[in-house]
Structure 1
C-alpha cells in the first residue's frame, strides 16, 4: 500500500503542474532572490543611504554660484549732484567654502558611512526572510501534494470498503447500518480530499508569491545543510554574525557620532568667500573675505540637542543588548523546535508501523467475520492520520534546519552556495562616495544605474 500511496502522490503532483524538467530547491532559492520586490526595495533604500555619504562629502567642497539681475534704478554719485537713472544689469559670481568647523563635516561623513553599513545589514536580514519564505513554500507544496495523494488513496480504499459492505449486506451478512457507516465515511473522505486539494492550491499561490512563478514538478528535497553540534555553538555564531546584531552595533556607533556632532555644534566656524560682479554701467567689484561665526546664545537649544543625543546613545545601547537577547532566544527556540520535530518523526515511524499492522489484522479479521466494517474504517483512518502526521513532522524537521540557520544569520545566498551574482552594495557606494557630477565616475555611475534598472 505504501508504494501505491507514493505513486498516487506523484501522479497528483504531475497533474497539478506539468513541466518538462523538475525544479530543485536551489532553483526556488534563485528565483526568490531574483524576483523579490523586498530585496529591490531595500537595495534602493541602501542606494539612498549611499547618496547621503556623497552629500556629506560635497560639504567639503566650495560652493560656486552666480546671480544675474536686471532692473531699473536711480542713484546719485558722491561727486555729482545729478541723479543717474536707467536699467541696470548686474552679473555676480561668488564662491564660498567652509575652512574650519571643528570636525562637524568629518563627523557627518562618518555618521552617514555608519548608516550605510547598518542599512547593508538590514539588506542581509531581508535576504534571509526571502530565502526562508522560498524554502517554506517549496516544502509546503510537497507536503500538500503528498497529503492529496494520501487522501485520494483513502477515497479509493473507503470506496472499496463500501462496495464490500454492500455485497455483504446483499447476502445478509451485515445490517444496513454497516453500509450507512461506510457511506458516511466515504463522504468524509471526499470532503477531506477537497480540503487537501484546496490547501495545495493555497500552497501553490504561496510558492508563486515567494519565487515569482507557480511550481512545476518539484524534485525531492536535498539533504539539509549542516548545523553546529550544539545549541550553544549555534548561539555563539549568531551573536557574532546575525545582521540584527551587527545593525544594532552600527546603531550605537551612529548615536555616539551624534553626540560628537552635538558637541562640535558649540564651536565656531570659519568660512572664506570670494565674489566678483559687473554691471551695465561698467562698475566692477571684487571682494574676498573670511568670516568667523559662532552662536553665543540659543536659548538652551544646543544643550538640549546634546542631552538628546546622549539619551539616543543610551537607547541604542539598550537596543543592542535586547537584540542579543532576542537572537539568543531565537536560536534556543528554533533548536528546541528542531529537536521536537526529530522526536515526532521517530515517533511517527513507530506509529505508522503499529497502525499498519493493526489495519492489516483488522481487515483480515473482518474477512472472517470477526470484525465489523466500522472496525476496518477506524483502523484505516488511524493509519491515514499517522501518515499525515509523519509527513508534517518531517517537513517541520527539514524547515527547522533552515530556521536555525536564519537565527544564526547564515541563511544567505553566499552561505548556501547558490552560485548566483547578488546585489553588490559596494559597487554603487564606490561610484558615488566622492559625489561625482559629470566625469568618468559619473559615466560609470550611469552604467551601474542602467544595470540596476535592467
Structure 2
C-alpha cells in the first residue's frame, strides 16, 4: 500500500529563485488568489499596433452629424411611473446577464491556470509510505520517504509557460469585453425599439382617430343626402385597416417590452427611457476607430501571443532542467533498502539534470503545429479587421442614406399635411371624393410612421457601430464600474 502527498513548484531562472523566508513559506501554504485579474486596464492590453494586411483597405470615418431636431425627440410623450437613463438601463442588464457571468467564470479559471504555471517556481515536496510482504524475513516492513526538489535553471521553459497562460488570460478578458458589448448592444437596441413602437403606436392611434372623424363626416353627409351612401362604407374600411394597424403596433411594442423585461428583470411598460445628449458625440462616428481598443482585435492579438509562446515553449523543451534534490527515508520494522541496516535512516542531496533529447520527431511536429497556429491567429486578426471594415462601411451607408431619407420624409409629411387640409375643404364643397380625403389622411400618418422608422433605424445602426468599434464602455459609462466583480479601467 502506498500513500502519497505532494506539493510542487519551480522557477525559470537561477536568479529568480525566491530566497527562503517567512513570505515564501506563507506563499507555499497559502493558496489564496488575488482578484487583480478582474480589473482590466485597457491601456495595458491595448499596447500594440494593428498593422492589417496590405491587401486590406482603410477604415472609413462614418456618418455625418444628424439634424439637431432629431436628437431631442427620441422619447415619445407618455406618462411613465419611472424614468431611466439609457446608461442606467444597460448597467442593469450587464450586471445580471448570465453570459457575462459565464465569461467572468472562464476568466477566473484562466487566472487559476496562471497560478498553476507559477507554482513551478517554488519547491516541490513529496512524501510516501511503502509497506508490504517483501519476503518472509522482511514481512511487515515499512519505509517512510520524504523528497524535496527545487528547480534551479530550465532555460526559460517555466517562464514561457507562464507567459502562455497570461496571454490566455488577456484572451479571456477580451471575451468578457465582447460579452459586455453584446449585451449592451442588445439592450440598447431593445430600448430604441420600445421607443420606436411607442411612437408608431401613438401615430397609429392618431391615424385611427383621424379616419374615424372622416367616417363620421361621411356618415352624416350621406344621411343628409349630400353625398353618396358608398362614402361611409369606404371610410369604414379605412377605419378597420387603421384598427388592424394599431393592433400590429401594439403587438410589436409588447414583444419589445417583453424582450427588455427579460434583460432587466422587471416590467418596463410604464417606464420612460431618456437618451443622454452625449450618445451621438461619444459614439465615435466622426473619428477613425482605435483598432487596439476593439475587443475582437485584443482577442486576436492575444491568440497570436499564445501561438508565439507555444512555439517558444516547444523549442525549449529539449533543453535540460537542473534541479536541486533532497531525499530522506526511514525504515520501520525492517531493513532500509538503501543502507542494508535495520530501522535505519538514509538521506541524500544532489543536483539533478533531466531532458527529453529525442521524442521520435514529436518536437519538430509540435514546432510545425505552433507555426501553423501562429499563422491562423494572424489570419484571425486580419479577419477581425475585415469584419470591422465591412461593418463600419455598411453602417456608414445606412446612416448617411437614412439621414437623406429623413429630410425627404419630413418634406413629404409637410406636403401631405397641406394636401389633407385642402382635400377636406374640397370634399365639403363636393370637388373631391371621400377616397381622396381618406388617402390623404392615411398618407400623412404613413409619412410620419416612415420617418419615425428610419429615425430609429439610425439609432439602432449607431448602437451596432458602437459595438463594432469597441466604444460601448465609453458611450454607456461602463468604465470604472464594478460589473459582476469585473472592472474596466481605460
Range of TM-score over shorter length: 0.7 to 0.9
Structure 1 position 172, deviation (Å)? 2.5
Give 5+ residue unaligned stretches, structure 1. 1-5, 75-82, 429-454
Structure 1 position 289, deviation (Å)? 3.2
Matched ranges for 1:364-375 at <5 A: 364-375=425-436
Structure 1 position 347, deviation (Å)? 1.7
- For 2:486 and 2:406, how far apart are their aligned partners in 1? 45
Indicate how the Cα distance of structure 1 residues 100 and 427 shifts in structure 2: closer, same or farther if over 3 A, else same: farther
Matched ranges for 1:51-90 at <5 A: 51-74=112-135, 84-90=137-143
Q: Report if aligned partners of 2:83, 2:274 keep a CA contact under 8 Å in 1.
A: no
Q: Name which of 99, 103, 114 aligns with 1:38.
A: 99
Q: What is residue 199 of structure 1 aligned with on the other side?
A: 252
Are positions 1:249 and 2:301 aligned together?
yes
Give 5+ residue unaligned stretches, structure 2. 1-72, 334-342
Q: Map Cα deviations across residues 4-36 of structure 1 (whole Å, 9 max, x no partner).
A: xx9xx645xx4xxx52x3222122122122122
Q: Report if aligned partners of 2:319, 2:357 keep a CA contact under 8 Å in 1.
A: no
- What is the DSSP-based 3-state SS (H/G/I as helix, E as strand, rest coil) of the residue aligned with 1:324? helix
Q: What is residue 438 of structure 2 aligned with on the other side?
A: 377
Structure 1 position 424, deviation (Å)? 9.0
Q: Report if aligned partners of 2:481, 2:487 keep a CA contact under 8 Å in 1.
A: no
More helix by share: 1
Matched ranges for 1:24-423 at <5 A: 24-74=85-135, 84-215=137-268, 216-223=270-277, 224-226=279-281, 233-234=287-288, 237-281=289-333, 282-412=343-473, 414-417=474-477, 421-423=481-483
Q: Under a length normalisation based on structure 2, what TM-score does the superposition of the two structures give?
A: 0.76
Q: Report if aligned partners of 1:120, 1:425 keep a CA contact under 8 Å in 2.
A: no
- What is the DSSP-based 3-state SS (H/G/I as helix, E as strand, rest coil) of the residue aligned with 2:266? coil
- For 1:28 and 1:228, how far apart are their aligned partners in 2? 17
Indicate how the Cα distance of structure 1 residues 390 and 63 shifts in structure 2: closer, same or farther if over 3 A, else same: same
- For 1:156 and 1:130, how far apart are their aligned partners in 2? 39
Indicate how the Cα distance of structure 1 residues 85 and 221 shifts in structure 2: closer, same or farther if over 3 A, else same: closer
Structure 1 position 69, deviation (Å)? 3.8
Structure 1 position 120, deviation (Å)? 1.5
RMSD: 2.5
Q: What is residue 436 of structure 1 aligned with on the other side?
A: none
Q: What is residue 444 of structure 1 aligned with on the other side?
A: none
Q: Report if aligned partners of 1:68, 1:91 keep a CA contact under 8 Å in 2.
A: yes
How many equivalent pairs are there? 403
Structure 1 position 85, deviation (Å)? 4.1
- For 1:51 and 1:365, how far apart are their aligned partners in 2? 80
Q: Map Cα deviations across residues 242-288 of structure 1 (whole Å, 9 max, x no partner).
A: 12122212221211111111101122223333221223222322233
Indicate how the Cα distance of structure 1 residues 287 and 40 shifts in structure 2: closer, same or farther if over 3 A, else same: same
- What is the DSSP-based 3-state SS (H/G/I as helix, E as strand, rest coil) of the residue aligned with 2:358? coil
